[in-house]
Amino acid sequence: MAKDSGNIRYDEEFILNSRGLKLFTCKWIPVNQYPKALIFICHGYAMECSITMNSTAHRLAKEGYAIYGIDYEGHGKSAGLDGYVENMDNVIDDCSAHFTGICEKEENRKKMRYLLGESMGGAVALLLHFKKPEFWDGAIFAAPMCKIADDMRPHPMVINVLTKLTTYIPTWRVLPSKDIIDLAFKVPEVRQEIRSNPYCYKGRPRIKTGYELFKTTMELEQKLEGVSLPFLVLHGEDDKVTDKKVSQQLHRVASSKDKTIKLYPGMWHGLLYGEPLENIEIVFKDIIGWLEERVALGNTRLERELKQRNDK
């Protein structure tokens, strides 16, 4: 299905992953200009791309960027058990295969490529970077799930028991959890939109899902020094879902020479679409400004790749 909205063409398509599952993909492409760069969005846990991240994609597409998204297995319109992450490696493999396939098309090979990850999607973006460290030109991490906030983390004894249960009842929805929608999104109308969106998962986290997310945050927290790509990390100072201290740690210890952090007083977890409009404008001014500066510098990755080919 394709449709035009102003100067943006929206299209969606189902693809098959390596495990034979049907995954939903979508894209927002500027119509009357050559895209400045490609941006690949990685949505949060229990979210999806085509509705909840539509406003984000439209804002960036209006600025001249081509935007691509994919619903993870068990999320949104993709196949799989609702809200179930059996293995985070599968999520990364699916995103990597789809995103790199787009980048390697003839018309896209010379374009710069960026990742934009929100919450769990921030963890996905980091893992995509670790999978192919030299592939991406940069990343934007919005309240990245590098560590679950202490108030959201189960007691160590509960974690120990649930870890053992992943072998026997991995899909059971018995994990104790607070209402993330109420904690993440400040604007009541946004909370209602998410609750009424049939493609957003609202049940309790499944046991294996909780284990995979917890394991991912534990692993990422130990690997932050290995982050080497240019990045912008954004975090609300009143975020009660993911820990702003780890975003600060990411900015402090990452080996990247080009790294920027923005902390927003009074803002919550949902920086991209869960805040009042005046706050969202502040956040996107920072995002677009950061992108414009780097696009203006030119494609240093392409220059490096051409030099390596010539050397060989």
Looking at the annotation, which residues are catalytic?
Answer: 119, 239, 269
Q: Give Cα separations from 136 to 111, 173, 188, 224, 251 (angstroms).
A: 11, 36, 36, 17, 18
Cβ–Cβ under 8 Å, residues 130 and 229? no
If you write DSSP's letter for every residue of 225-244 in order, what string do you get? Answer: GG--S-EEEEEETT-SSB-H
Q: Give Cα separations from 83 to 76, 207, 210 (angstroms).
A: 9, 11, 10
DSSP 3-state of 139: strand
DSSP 3-state of 179: coil
- Counting Cα atoms < 13 Å in the Cβ hemisphere of 27 gives 17
- Spatial separation of the C-alpha atoms in residues 37 and 56, rounded to whole Å: 16
Using the CB atoms, write b or e for 230-261: b if 16+ within 10 Å: bbbbbbbeebbbbbbebbebbbeebebeebbb
- Spatial separation of the C-alpha atoms in residues 43 and 53, rounded to whole Å: 8
Q: Give Cα separations from 47 to 26, 119, 140 (angstroms).
A: 14, 10, 18
Structure tokens, 232: 């912008």
The continuous run of DSSP H or E covering 38 comes out as strand 38-42
Nearest to 21 by CA among 89, 67, 77, 69: 77
Any alpha helices (H) in the chain, and if so which ranges?
54-62, 88-103, 120-131, 156-165, 180-184, 188-196, 207-221, 244-253, 277-296, 300-311
